[in-house]
Structure 1
Amino acid sequence: MTSTSPPTDRLAPWSFAEFVDANGHEMVTRPPVIDGVVGPTIVRDGRELVNFASINFLDLGQRLSLTREFTDAAHTYGLTTGGSRMTQGVCRPHQVLEESIARQTGKERALTFATGLLANIGFVHAMSHSARFDDALQVHNRDTVFVLDRDSHWSLWKAVEGLEYGRSVHAFRHNDVADLARVLGRVRSRKVVVIIESVYSADGSMAPVIDLLDECDRHGAISMVDDANGFMLYGPSHRPFAAEYAAIRERADFVMVSLSKAVGLEGGALAGPAHAIDAFEVLSGTSMFTAAMQPPTAHVAGRTIEALANDPSIVDDYLARADRLRAGMHEMGMPTTPAASYMLSVPIGDDDAAMTMREWFVKDGYLVPVFCYPAVPRNQALLRLIPHAGHTEEQVDGFLHTLASYRRRLGL
């Protein structure tokens, strides 16, 4: 049988082989295989590791027996939407979920997407798209200017990738209100969109939301907050960042939420003014021209959001656990970035030392994410820890003592 694969030398101009050969970190190109359920521990290539990398950190699917909810919903609604919501309608679980997200974010309407990335790409496309269907049905928004925090997530930078930097796209220094004011002061457009995140994944910092929104108001700019990392975790007055989340709810024009963090599933959503979200059904492109999340996933996401809203102790207990881990690190003389979020970032500095530390952790039974260049500036590497609701005290203490020993060995 003749092979239909193209010869390797035909791909030579793309330098894929050289890239792989030069890569000394196997995680980048061929990740290990995971077996079983991902939770406070994880089984990789047959080895069980204490897991500080999971974004499903509340583990509600296991704790609240939501797998049965998923299977029941699969029988009721099937495993797929079966087609575009524009051609056949919206599945009931998606409608219920969107209504719940709108309530939780304080916005008029929400629109769900298969992922948060697609929500971000769809937002930028809708806000900057021009289309003419007939004389009455048309929109012209190619003059929109986007202003992003430099540390915004890859999905946001990907969304604006096709727009001209310096003309349609500008950036301001991370969490720097004065620099945002400087950029907005020089932008000459009546259509300006400022994009920030709530909790930034690399350093765990909370944006100075109130001051940033003040600048948006001062310059007549639309605001969009990517709340992928904070949705359903912050907001109530007794939790950190209550004032910032009140501002997001009451003043931000648009909010993007991810369902892969606190909710522990897949999917994303945009929430905002009803007329805009209605238009996004068509103009985002990532709603009409790609699959939605599975109906059982949408159903369970709605039930999970309901559980988190009705039982605040779930998140309160988790945030207290994260605070104890941070306090334990400080007691042992190990610095963390000053942010008070559940994401703990531990500065390491040297990229090679950080990669060595990651390999040591795996050998000693821990999975710990390391952020190196290009995720962060060169030689400003850090560990990004996410404690898990199911971690035992023994697992946490073991990790702390292991990290302390590595720091001594590396002279940090």
Structure 2
Amino acid sequence: MTTTAPTGTAEAALARWGFSEWIAQTRRTGEFIDTPELDGVNDAVISVDGRPVVNFSGIGILGWQHDPDVRRVFAAAAAEYGLVVGGSRLVQGLSRPHLELEKLVAEITGQEKALTFATGLLANLGFVHAMKARFSFADEPGVNNSDMVLVLDWDSHWSMWKAADGFKYGRNLFAFEHNDVAALRTLLAELGDRRVVVGFETVYSSDGSMAPVGEILDACEEFGAVSFVDDANGFMAYGNGGHRFAAEYEALRRATFRMVSFGKAVGLSGGAVVGPADAIDAFRFLSGTSIFTTNIQPPTAQAITHVLERMRRDPSVMERYLDRIDRLRERLIAVGCAINSTPTFVTSIAVGSNETAVRVRRDFLERGYLVPMFVYPAVRRNEAVIRLLVNNRLSDEQLDGFVDTLAELRTIHGF
């Protein structure tokens, strides 16, 4: 029996939006995923309702957030600088840890300057907002880039598409098929001398594919377009002396702008945009997400710097991790899984329909594994995948157990 809220109440006003009906429907189908309530620390093995569960859903792939030295650095910085960020950087300034982190990120990426944000998503939103800004102080000469055109790879992250909410597709927003450089070149030729920003990722979140970085930047340079590379997934996983995708990451230094995230290889939080110094200084005012929100906590910034310095000194830490992922991919192929063809550390296992994905995720959890299932809108409809970012703190035995369980569930559900 459906009850109707009395007219004139807040419930009656909100009922027109349909949230309750939608939630009820998606709970019935199993598509609405309740957030697991963890009893303790979020780690390679977590506790859900008092039961140990092997966790394949975390994003801090190397486990730096549990390293004793990293925690000591965080604690020491917390004691010195406190936990409160205090407001916008323009209002109350930056702490020493932020300045040190921005200088180091600029050095690592080979860019002139870096600007940190509380998250990578805020960095992406802020970048697009700054590039399209129309603003001046009083009667002083300002900027007016409101006619800019944004061109995205179709598979670009949700945050990039969200940043383009105020754009109109076909007028100042365009897209090219995933990693299709020929299509990009045709589009850039059609756009002529308009002010164009081309946005793409290095390692794509859903399918683990790697962009043809050099070829895309060649096209941008030929047609006079500004390039913006979302390197949230690949930062410090590739480059830094590693042999995998070395050509792509050498070419990446030619990008006009680059966004990096501290959530994956670094395992902490926050992001940054790097690029030419004058533009980065302008972004402090024009991004919106820099001036109207807070930054990373000072101890987190100090801990990120500590991790980055250690990774620069010893690239073998990441290389050994990537060797483990190569072995896991071999095992997945051996049991008949359809996985992404590009051997990045992002491993996507094809599942198929949303209905199958719901059942597979449920059965994994019953067997003691929390797996990340990507369904629409993270991927195309009925092209659901298990998207793995393997925590390096998982043992070989736990990885073997996962593969054995996966093989069992493939037989049961036919994916």
Deviations 1:53-88 (A, max 9, x none): 110111112134312211111110111132332233
Q: CA deviation at 1:188?
A: 4.1
Q: Does 2:338 correspond to 1:340?
A: no
Q: 1:165 aligns with which of 169, 191, 202?
A: 169
Match of 1:140 in 2: 144
Q: Distance in 1 between matches of 2:31 and 2:243?
A: 36
Q: 2:305 aligns with which of 302, 305, 312?
A: 302
Query: Taking structure 1 as the reference length, what is the TM-score of the superposition?
Result: 0.95
Q: Distance in 2 between matches of 1:327 and 1:181?
A: 36
Q: CA deviation at 1:330?
A: 1.7
What amino acid is aligned across from residue 167 of structure 1 in structure 2?
R
Q: Distance in 2 between matches of 1:271 and 1:26?
A: 41
Match of 1:262 in 2: 265
Match of 1:283 in 2: 286
Q: Distance in 2 between matches of 1:69 and 1:399?
A: 34
Deviations 1:260-288 (A, max 9, x none): 11111111100000010010010111111
2:352 touches 2:385 (CA, 8 Å); kept in 1?
yes
Q: How does 1:378-397 map onto structure 2 within 5 Å?
A: 378-397=381-400
Match of 1:324 in 2: 327
Q: Distance in 1 between matches of 2:304 and 2:38?
A: 24
Q: CA deviation at 1:237?
A: 4.6
What amino acid is aligned across from residue 338 of structure 1 in structure 2?
S
What amino acid is aligned across from residue 307 of structure 1 in structure 2?
R
Q: Distance in 2 between matches of 1:375 and 1:203?
A: 10
What amino acid is aligned across from residue 224 of structure 1 in structure 2?
F
The 4+ residue runs of structure 1 with deviation greater than 2 A are 24-30, 44-47, 134-137, 236-239, 331-335
Q: 1:372 aligns with which of 371, 375, 382?
A: 375
2:259 touches 2:273 (CA, 8 Å); kept in 1?
yes
Q: CA deviation at 1:26?
A: 6.1
Q: Distance in 1 between matches of 2:234 and 2:372?
A: 19
Q: CA deviation at 1:13?
A: 1.1
Q: Distance in 1 between matches of 2:140 and 2:360?
A: 61
Match of 1:410 in 2: 413
Does the residue aligned with 1:229 lie in a helix, a strand or coil? Answer: coil
Q: How does 1:5-404 map onto structure 2 within 5 Å?
A: 7-24=10-27, 28=32, 30-249=34-253, 251-404=254-407
What amino acid is aligned across from residue 11 of structure 2 in structure 1?
T
Deviations 1:19-69 (A, max 9, x none): 111113667464121232222112223222111111011111213431221
Deviations 1:72-119 (A, max 9, x none): 111101111323322332211100000011011110000000111110
Q: Distance in 1 between matches of 2:10 and 2:88?
A: 38
Q: Distance in 1 between matches of 2:33 and 2:408?
A: 29
CA distance 1:219–1:361, shift in 2 (3 Å): same
Does the residue aligned with 1:157 lie in a helix, a strand or coil? Answer: helix
Does the residue aligned with 2:401 lie in a helix, a strand or coil? Answer: helix
2:200 touches 2:229 (CA, 8 Å); kept in 1?
yes
1:39 touches 1:56 (CA, 8 Å); kept in 2?
no
1:122 touches 1:287 (CA, 8 Å); kept in 2?
yes
1:39 touches 1:57 (CA, 8 Å); kept in 2?
no
After superposition, the CA RMSD in angstroms is 1.6
Q: CA deviation at 1:16?
A: 0.7
What amino acid is aligned across from residue 370 of structure 1 in structure 2?
M
Provide the aligned length of Structure 1 versus Structure 2. Answer: 407
Q: Distance in 2 between matches of 1:392 and 1:311?
A: 22
Query: Taking structure 2 as the reference length, what is the TM-score of the superposition?
Result: 0.95
Q: Distance in 1 between matches of 2:65 and 2:376?
A: 34
What amino acid is aligned across from residue 321 of structure 1 in structure 2?
R
What percent of counterpart residues are identical? 49
Per mean C-alpha deviation after superposition, the further-off stretch among 77-86 and 27-36 is 27-36
1:143 touches 1:189 (CA, 8 Å); kept in 2?
no
1:58 touches 1:318 (CA, 8 Å); kept in 2?
yes
What amino acid is aligned across from residue 306 of structure 1 in structure 2?
E
Per mean C-alpha deviation after superposition, the further-off stretch among 181-190 and 386-395 is 181-190
**Tell me, which stretches of 5 or more residues in structure 1 are unaligned?**
none
